[in-house]
Amino acid sequence: MFHPNDNPLDRGWVGRIEEDKMLHLAAQTLQSFFLVGGGSRVHAEYPLADVTLLVPVQYPPTVRIFDNGSAFRFANSTAVVGTNVAVSGTRLSAQARIAIVIGADGEIGGTTAMVEWHDPAEEPGVKQSDFGIVLGPVVVTPDETATASLACRLSAGERTAAGATNGFSWAEALALAGHRTNLRPGDVIAGPAVAVLDDVGEDVLLEVDGIGTLACPLL
Protein backbone atom coordinates (compact mmCIF):
# COMPACT_ATOMS: atom_id res chain seq x y z
CA MET A 1 0.00 0.00 0.00
CA PHE A 2 1.27 3.49 -0.83
CA HIS A 3 0.40 7.07 -1.59
CA PRO A 4 2.16 9.61 -3.80
CA ASN A 5 4.18 12.07 -1.73
CA ASP A 6 2.16 14.96 -3.14
CA ASN A 7 -1.19 13.28 -2.42
CA PRO A 8 -1.23 11.93 1.18
CA LEU A 9 -3.90 9.31 1.84
CA ASP A 10 -4.73 7.46 5.06
CA ARG A 11 -5.45 4.07 3.49
CA GLY A 12 -3.54 4.55 0.25
CA TRP A 13 -3.56 2.51 -2.92
CA VAL A 14 -2.45 -0.99 -3.83
CA GLY A 15 0.81 -1.00 -5.72
CA ARG A 16 3.35 -3.39 -7.23
CA ILE A 17 7.03 -2.50 -7.15
CA GLU A 18 8.99 -3.14 -10.32
CA GLU A 19 12.62 -2.01 -10.13
CA ASP A 20 12.48 1.75 -9.42
CA LYS A 21 8.77 2.16 -10.20
CA MET A 22 5.54 1.83 -8.26
CA LEU A 23 2.63 0.58 -10.36
CA HIS A 24 -0.77 1.66 -9.04
CA LEU A 25 -3.10 -1.34 -9.38
CA ALA A 26 -6.86 -1.22 -9.78
CA ALA A 27 -7.70 -2.80 -6.41
CA GLN A 28 -9.04 -1.12 -3.28
CA THR A 29 -7.11 -3.19 -0.73
CA LEU A 30 -4.50 -5.92 -0.63
CA GLN A 31 -7.29 -8.32 0.32
CA SER A 32 -9.26 -7.53 -2.83
CA PHE A 33 -6.08 -7.89 -4.89
CA PHE A 34 -5.63 -11.43 -3.56
CA LEU A 35 -9.30 -12.31 -4.16
CA VAL A 36 -9.05 -11.52 -7.88
CA GLY A 37 -5.97 -13.68 -8.22
CA GLY A 38 -3.46 -10.86 -8.41
CA GLY A 39 -4.61 -9.90 -11.89
CA SER A 40 -5.54 -6.26 -11.27
CA ARG A 41 -4.75 -3.95 -14.17
CA VAL A 42 -2.19 -1.17 -13.86
CA HIS A 43 -3.92 2.14 -13.28
CA ALA A 44 -0.91 4.50 -13.14
CA GLU A 45 2.86 4.56 -12.65
CA TYR A 46 5.05 6.55 -10.25
CA PRO A 47 8.78 6.76 -9.55
CA LEU A 48 9.41 4.74 -6.40
CA ALA A 49 11.26 7.69 -4.89
CA ASP A 50 8.08 9.78 -5.14
CA VAL A 51 5.83 7.55 -3.03
CA THR A 52 5.38 6.72 0.66
CA LEU A 53 4.85 3.12 1.76
CA LEU A 54 1.96 2.47 4.15
CA VAL A 55 0.95 -0.46 6.33
CA PRO A 56 0.18 -3.33 3.91
CA VAL A 57 -2.97 -4.40 5.77
CA GLN A 58 -4.81 -1.72 7.72
CA TYR A 59 -6.74 -3.27 10.64
CA PRO A 60 -6.28 -6.95 9.71
CA PRO A 61 -9.30 -9.15 10.51
CA THR A 62 -7.11 -11.12 12.93
CA VAL A 63 -3.48 -11.22 14.02
CA ARG A 64 -2.08 -14.49 15.36
CA ILE A 65 1.42 -14.61 16.81
CA PHE A 66 3.27 -17.88 17.28
CA ASP A 67 5.91 -18.03 19.99
CA ASN A 68 6.53 -21.70 19.17
CA GLY A 69 5.27 -24.19 16.63
CA SER A 70 2.38 -25.54 18.67
CA ALA A 71 0.63 -22.48 20.14
CA PHE A 72 -0.32 -18.95 19.20
CA ARG A 73 -1.89 -15.91 20.82
CA PHE A 74 -4.12 -13.23 19.34
CA ALA A 75 -2.77 -9.70 19.07
CA ASN A 76 -4.48 -6.33 18.78
CA SER A 77 -5.22 -5.68 15.10
CA THR A 78 -5.88 -1.98 15.77
CA ALA A 79 -2.28 -1.67 17.04
CA VAL A 80 -0.89 -2.56 13.59
CA VAL A 81 0.98 0.31 11.90
CA GLY A 82 3.33 0.65 8.95
CA THR A 83 6.95 1.51 8.44
CA ASN A 84 8.11 4.90 9.77
CA VAL A 85 5.07 5.22 12.06
CA ALA A 86 6.21 6.10 15.59
CA VAL A 87 5.17 4.14 18.67
CA SER A 88 5.30 5.66 22.15
CA GLY A 89 7.56 4.16 24.79
CA THR A 90 10.97 3.87 26.43
CA ARG A 91 12.99 0.86 27.61
CA LEU A 92 10.98 -1.43 25.37
CA SER A 93 11.70 -4.85 23.93
CA ALA A 94 11.68 -5.11 20.13
CA GLN A 95 10.90 -8.55 18.72
CA ALA A 96 11.58 -9.18 15.04
CA ARG A 97 9.33 -11.69 13.30
CA ILE A 98 8.46 -12.92 9.83
CA ALA A 99 4.73 -12.84 9.10
CA ILE A 100 2.45 -14.08 6.38
CA VAL A 101 -0.70 -12.45 5.05
CA ILE A 102 -3.57 -14.74 4.10
CA GLY A 103 -4.75 -14.49 0.49
CA ALA A 104 -7.54 -16.32 -1.30
CA ASP A 105 -8.86 -19.72 -0.14
CA GLY A 106 -6.97 -19.60 3.15
CA GLU A 107 -3.60 -19.86 1.41
CA ILE A 108 -0.52 -17.68 1.87
CA GLY A 109 -0.91 -14.48 -0.12
CA GLY A 110 2.51 -13.11 0.76
CA THR A 111 5.23 -12.64 3.34
CA THR A 112 6.22 -9.52 5.25
CA ALA A 113 8.28 -8.33 8.21
CA MET A 114 7.04 -7.49 11.69
CA VAL A 115 8.39 -5.81 14.80
CA GLU A 116 6.31 -6.46 17.91
CA TRP A 117 6.99 -3.97 20.69
CA HIS A 118 6.79 -5.07 24.33
CA ASP A 119 6.76 -2.83 27.40
CA PRO A 120 7.86 -4.97 30.39
CA ALA A 121 6.91 -2.19 32.82
CA GLU A 122 3.27 -2.03 31.71
CA GLU A 123 0.63 -3.25 34.15
CA PRO A 124 -1.39 -5.40 34.00
CA GLY A 125 0.79 -7.84 32.07
CA VAL A 126 -1.83 -8.40 29.38
CA LYS A 127 -1.16 -4.83 28.15
CA GLN A 128 2.58 -5.31 27.69
CA SER A 129 2.25 -6.13 23.98
CA ASP A 130 -1.07 -4.48 23.18
CA PHE A 131 0.11 -1.19 21.69
CA GLY A 132 2.60 -1.47 18.83
CA ILE A 133 2.90 -3.94 15.93
CA VAL A 134 4.85 -2.62 12.95
CA LEU A 135 4.16 -4.45 9.67
CA GLY A 136 5.75 -4.08 6.25
CA PRO A 137 7.27 -2.39 4.40
CA VAL A 138 5.85 -4.58 1.60
CA VAL A 139 4.24 -7.97 1.14
CA VAL A 140 6.32 -10.27 -1.04
CA THR A 141 4.36 -12.80 -3.09
CA PRO A 142 5.11 -16.53 -2.74
CA ASP A 143 6.98 -16.78 -6.05
CA GLU A 144 9.47 -14.17 -4.82
CA THR A 145 9.62 -15.49 -1.25
CA ALA A 146 10.65 -18.93 -2.48
CA THR A 147 14.08 -17.60 -3.48
CA ALA A 148 14.59 -15.21 -0.54
CA SER A 149 16.68 -16.10 2.51
CA LEU A 150 14.54 -13.97 4.85
CA ALA A 151 17.58 -13.48 7.09
CA CYS A 152 16.85 -10.74 9.65
CA ARG A 153 19.00 -8.03 11.19
CA LEU A 154 17.44 -5.95 13.97
CA SER A 155 19.40 -2.86 14.99
CA ALA A 156 19.06 -0.04 17.53
CA GLY A 157 21.96 2.38 17.60
CA GLU A 158 25.15 0.32 17.74
CA ARG A 159 23.38 -2.87 18.87
CA THR A 160 22.38 -5.56 16.38
CA ALA A 161 20.66 -8.94 16.68
CA ALA A 162 20.29 -11.37 13.79
CA GLY A 163 18.33 -14.51 13.02
CA ALA A 164 16.13 -16.45 10.59
CA THR A 165 12.99 -18.59 10.64
CA ASN A 166 14.85 -21.89 10.30
CA GLY A 167 12.79 -24.88 11.39
CA PHE A 168 9.42 -23.14 11.64
CA SER A 169 6.68 -24.85 9.62
CA TRP A 170 4.25 -22.43 8.02
CA ALA A 171 2.13 -25.36 6.84
CA GLU A 172 1.65 -26.53 10.43
CA ALA A 173 0.96 -22.95 11.56
CA LEU A 174 -1.71 -22.56 8.87
CA ALA A 175 -3.30 -25.87 9.82
CA LEU A 176 -3.46 -24.93 13.50
CA ALA A 177 -4.70 -21.38 12.85
CA GLY A 178 -7.38 -22.62 10.48
CA HIS A 179 -8.59 -25.54 12.61
CA ARG A 180 -12.38 -25.27 13.13
CA THR A 181 -12.45 -21.73 11.73
CA ASN A 182 -11.92 -19.85 8.47
CA LEU A 183 -8.83 -17.84 7.60
CA ARG A 184 -9.80 -14.71 5.70
CA PRO A 185 -7.87 -12.55 3.24
CA GLY A 186 -5.85 -10.03 5.21
CA ASP A 187 -5.43 -12.21 8.31
CA VAL A 188 -1.86 -11.97 9.62
CA ILE A 189 0.07 -14.90 11.08
CA ALA A 190 3.48 -14.18 12.60
CA GLY A 191 6.16 -16.73 13.37
CA PRO A 192 8.37 -16.88 16.47
CA ALA A 193 10.74 -14.03 17.23
CA VAL A 194 13.96 -14.43 15.27
CA ALA A 195 15.82 -11.49 16.80
CA VAL A 196 15.22 -9.53 20.01
CA LEU A 197 16.64 -6.32 21.48
CA ASP A 198 15.73 -5.40 25.05
CA ASP A 199 15.87 -2.07 26.88
CA VAL A 200 15.35 -0.09 23.69
CA GLY A 201 14.83 3.65 23.90
CA GLU A 202 15.65 4.65 20.33
CA ASP A 203 14.53 3.98 16.79
CA VAL A 204 14.85 0.42 15.48
CA LEU A 205 15.47 -0.89 11.98
CA LEU A 206 14.58 -4.40 10.83
CA GLU A 207 16.28 -5.49 7.61
CA VAL A 208 14.98 -8.70 6.03
CA ASP A 209 16.68 -10.12 2.96
CA GLY A 210 14.09 -10.44 0.23
CA ILE A 211 11.57 -8.10 1.86
CA GLY A 212 13.26 -4.81 2.71
CA THR A 213 13.78 -2.51 5.67
CA LEU A 214 11.11 -1.82 8.27
CA ALA A 215 11.72 1.45 10.13
CA CYS A 216 10.31 1.52 13.67
CA PRO A 217 10.74 4.93 15.34
CA LEU A 218 9.88 5.64 18.97
CA LEU A 219 8.30 8.78 20.35
Check: pTM over 0.85? Answer yes or no: yes
**Domain segments of the chain: what residues?**
2-53, 63-216
Query: How far is it, in rounded angstroms, from Cα 132 to Cα 76?
Result: 9
pLDDT at 30: 94
- Give the three-class secondary structure for 99: strand
Contact at 8 Å (CB) between 26 and 43?
Answer: yes
Asked if 195 and 161 touch (Cβ cutoff 8 Å), the reply is yes
3-state secondary structure of 130: coil
Beta-bridge partners for 96: 115, 195
Strand, helix or coil at 148?
coil
d(CA 49, CA 47): 5
pLDDT of residue 166: 83
For residue 18, the cross-strand partners are 21
What class is the 63-216 domain? alpha beta
Phi and psi for 106 in degrees, rounded to 5?
A: 75, 10
Q: Could you read off the pLDDT of 44-70 as tens digits, one per residue?
A: 999 999 999 999 999 999 999 999 889
Q: Sign of dihedral through CA atoms 112, 33, 170, 144?
A: negative
Q: pLDDT (tens digit, 0 to 9) for every residue of the chain, 219 residues total?
A: 999 999 999 989 999 999 999 999 999 999 999 998 878 899 999 999 999 999 999 999 999 999 988 999 999 999 999 999 999 999 999 999 999 999 999 999 999 999 999 999 999 999 999 999 999 999 999 998 887 889 999 999 999 999 998 889 999 999 999 999 999 999 999 999 999 999 999 999 999 999 999 999 999
Predicted local confidence at residue 151, as pLDDT: 95
* The pLDDT of residue 161: 98
- Name 25's bridge partners: 42
